[in-house]
């Protein structure tokens, strides 16, 4: 369906004017480094919740994971359960309050800065910043791809033009306005996303004849599962894959656990806990954030699976066969363009752009502050000069755009799971230890961060076949795409690296506990 150009231009211009206005408001309110880095520590809880949710949920969830749900079915709904249980309740109540309190006390302004000050270690600040600078462009590029894919399929404009224009608009208000501008625009974008996803769910069920009819039809399609997927353990789009099968392992370890656990140690989310003035604000934010995440992920995964019913009833093919050149990232855009009214195509495009822009702005901000403040400067001072951070932000944006042109298709969900898995493996044990130990062990934190990151990279490069085959290191050194056979080839790196990272933390902590009494005994003697 072709979009009404005049309608699209009018709505999009109005949207961009408001976004630029909010960005300018953030720029005017940014007076000091605290304003740029942590929004002056005075953000309203509703803005926090919408900003957190909009940053958490992006085109990755809607386009990438929606496409995966179309391919693998509604088992992905378990990720929604983890997103709310861990990503909202545990993140805000268990980690958020301690992060806000300790971050405020130490005057930390970034996640690496928080880690460095908690442990009194420039190494922790530098290492955490380095992991972000190296790994986050992959996730950022995936978000860029998702937004540009939909712009291209909807407006029929060149992909290159869509990608560059998209990145440039977001870069403008991030570089100038800092985190205040990011959170203001995020809140608006979160509201647009909520409206768009609510309408999408309603129209999908109307299109398919109702809730019961839609899900009954989906359950009846199990005999249409492609042979390759059936051989991997898939039993249908309305059921979980066979327990222990390769598709079950991919769905559970990579998509559900990788993203569900990984959210707890996302630098772009952690820093938001330091933007509110008190713990009560975090409690109030949970009441908004929980329902928001439910609507965002629950709708995306449900509609994604149900696209199979629509394409089969209208075209006689399943969703994967309706994808452009087999790219699962095109399933949701193709479904929207084929099935929805012209007005909603424009509204949903804005919702999708809002989802991508809200996450992108946060990633741009975190990458820029990590490079400009934590890696290059590493002073630990709050009064960081804004110019090097803004320059660093521009550099990281350019890197992300270049990477977006290089990455292959069907990459959005996988890149998201990779980045979140790495963050959990490298940061989560040390982050938890810093928040809940009265005397956190620097040795334990160093061992945990290094072990988690090294194990994740090693498993990704040599075992997890989707990445190891593409990277080619295993083939180069050992002559095989992956050094271990099934089922290990489809076990996500997080499942191996996070336990090793936790074990390294415990070993380091025990070593410190044994050495401290010995040192005291020596001093007494």
Rg over CA atoms, the chain = 23
CB 328 within 8 A of CB 320: yes
245 has a pLDDT exceeding 90: yes
- pLDDT above 90: residue 72: yes
Q: Is 492 in contact with 417 (CB distance < 8 Å)? A: yes
pLDDT reported for residue 203: 94
- Weakest-pLDDT range from 64-73, 226-235, 513-522: 513-522
Cβ–Cβ < 8 Å for 412, 150: no
- Rounded to an integer, the average pLDDT of 512-522 is 60
C-beta atoms surrounding 101 within 10 Å: 15
Q: Is the pLDDT of residue 55 over 80?
A: no
pLDDT score for 187: 85
Q: Please write down the HEC assignment for all residues of 207-257.
A: HCCCHHHHHHHHHCCHHHCCHHHHHCCCCCCCCCCCCCCHHHHHHHHHHHH
C-alpha distances (whole Å) from 370 to each of 126, 229, 432, 468 are 9, 41, 20, 28
- Mean pLDDT on 60-73: 86
525 pLDDT higher than 90: no
Cis peptide before 462 (omega within 30 of 0): no
Q: What is the pLDDT of residue 523?
A: 42
Mean pLDDT for the chain overall: 86
Among 345, 50, 16, which Cα is nearest to 166's? 16
CA distance 474 to 254: 20
- Is 187:47 a contact under the CB 8 Å cutoff? yes
Q: How confident is the model at residue 5 (pLDDT cuts 50, 70, 90)?
A: low
User: Comparing 200 with 143, which gets the higher pLDDT?
Assistant: 200
Kindly report, residue by residue over 258-282, the tens digit of the pLDDT.
Answer: 888 888 888 988 888 888 888 888 8
- 36, 474, 486 from 29: Cα distances, Å: 9, 51, 55
Q: What is the pLDDT of residue 511?
A: 92
430 pLDDT more than 90: yes
Name the residue among 311, 496, 501, 332 with its Cα closest to residue 413: 332
Domain positions in the chain: 5-410, 441-525
Superfamily for domain range 5-410? Sodium/glucose cotransporter (1.20.1730.10)
Q: Quick: pLDDT tens for 319-377.
A: 999 998 888 888 988 898 889 888 888 888 788 778 878 888 888 888 988 998 888 86
Percent of the chain at pLDDT > 70 equals 93
Residue 274 to residues 58, 95, 105, 110, Cα–Cα distance (Å): 22, 11, 10, 9
The Cβ of residue 426 has, within 10 Å, a number of other Cβ atoms equal to 29
């Amino acid at each position: 369906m072709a979009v009404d150009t005049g309608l699209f231009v009018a709505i999009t211009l109005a949207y961009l004017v408001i976004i630029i206005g909010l960005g300018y408001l953030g720029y005017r309110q940014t007076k000091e480094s605290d304003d740029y880095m942590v929004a002056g520590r005075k953000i309203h809880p509703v803005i926090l919740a919408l900003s957190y949710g909009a940053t958490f949920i992006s085109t990755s969830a809607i386009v990438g994971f929606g496409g995966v749900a179309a391919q693998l079915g509604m088992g992905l709904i378990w990720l929604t359960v983890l997103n709310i249980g861990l990503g909202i309740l545990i993140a805000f109540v268990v980690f958020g309050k301690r992060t806000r309190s300790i971050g405020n006390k130490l005057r930390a302004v970034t996640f690496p800065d928080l880690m460095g000050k908690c442990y009194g270690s420039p190494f922790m600040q530098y290492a955490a910043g380095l992991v972000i600078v190296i790994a986050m462009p992959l996730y950022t590029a995936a978000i860029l791809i998702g937004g540009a894919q939909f712009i291209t399929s909807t407006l029929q404009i060149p992909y290159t033009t869509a990608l560059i224009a998209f990145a440039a608009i977001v870069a403008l208000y991030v570089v100038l306005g800092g985190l205040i501008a990011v959170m203001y625009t995020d809140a608006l974008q979160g509201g647009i996303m909520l409206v768009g996803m609510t309408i999408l769910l309603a129209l999908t069920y109307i299109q398919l004849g109702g809730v019961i009819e839609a899900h009954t039809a989906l359950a009846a399609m199990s005999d249409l599962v492609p042979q390759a997927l059936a051989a991997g353990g898939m039993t249908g789009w309305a059921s979980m894959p066979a327990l222990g099968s390769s598709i079950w392992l991919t769905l559970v370890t990579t998509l559900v656990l990788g993203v569900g656990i990984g959210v707890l140690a996302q630098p772009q989310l952690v820093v938001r806990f330091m933007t509110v003035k008190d713990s009560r604000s975090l409690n109030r934010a949970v009441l908004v954030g929980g329902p928001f995440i439910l609507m965002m992920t629950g709708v995306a995964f449900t509609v994604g699976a149900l696209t199979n019913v629509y394409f089969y009833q209208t075209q006689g093919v399943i969703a994967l066969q309706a994808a452009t050149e087999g790219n699962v990232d095109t399933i949701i855009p193709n479904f929207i363009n084929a099935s929805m009214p012209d007005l909603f195509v424009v509204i949903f495009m804005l919702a999708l752009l809002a989802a991508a822009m809200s996450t992108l702005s946060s990633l741009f901000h975190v990458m820029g502050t990590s490079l400009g403040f934590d890696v290059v400067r590493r002073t630990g001072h709050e009064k960081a000069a804004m110019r090097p951070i803004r320059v660093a932000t521009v550099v990281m944006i350019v890197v992300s755009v270049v990477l977006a042109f290089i990455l292959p298709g069907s990459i959005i969900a996988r890149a998201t799971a990779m980045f979140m898995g790495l963050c959990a493996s490298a940061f989560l044990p040390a982050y938890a230890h810093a928040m809940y130990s009265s005397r956190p062990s620097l040795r334990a934190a160093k061992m945990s961060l290094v072990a988690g990151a090294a194990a994740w990279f090693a498993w990704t490069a040599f075992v997890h076949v989707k990445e190891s085959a593409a990277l080619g290191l295993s083939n180069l050194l050992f002559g095989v795409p992956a050094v271990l056979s099934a089922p290990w080839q489809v076990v996500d790196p997080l499942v191996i690296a996070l336990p090793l990272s936790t074990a390294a933390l415990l070993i380091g902590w025990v070593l410190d506990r044994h050495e401290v009494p010995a040192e005291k005994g020596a001093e007494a003697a």
